[in-house]
Amino acid sequence: MLNLHIDEVVCKGCGLCLYYCPRDVFEFSDKRNEKGFTVVDVVNLSNCTGCRLCEIGCPDIAIFIKSDKR
């Protein structure tokens, strides 16, 4: 099981995670963070393969993926 976390305080809504994700896991949300940026939401977690392209491509290090291996 994957745990995908977006740090909304750090996210500036650049959308690079949407660009890098080959499985359409993310969408822009209606929420804004404290800085006024529109943040992204995880909308299709079941599509996530854990490739980490979003995590690697995020310029603000706002995305974290953890794998719960049991």
> What is the model's pLDDT at position 2?
86
Residue 58 CA: distances (Å) to CA of 18, 48, 69: 10, 16, 24
Q: Is 61 exposed, middle or buried (0-12, 13-18, 19+ CB in 10 A)?
A: exposed
pLDDT higher than 70, residue 69: no
Condensed to tens digits (0 to 9), the pLDDT of residues 3-56 reads: 999 999 999 999 999 999 999 999 999 999 999 999 999 999 999 999 999 999
Domain of residue 27, CATH code: 3.30.70.20
Range of the domain at 43: 2-67
For residue 1 the two structure tokens come to: 């099981």
Number of domains within the chain: 1
> What is the model's pLDDT at position 19?
97
Global pTM value? 0.86
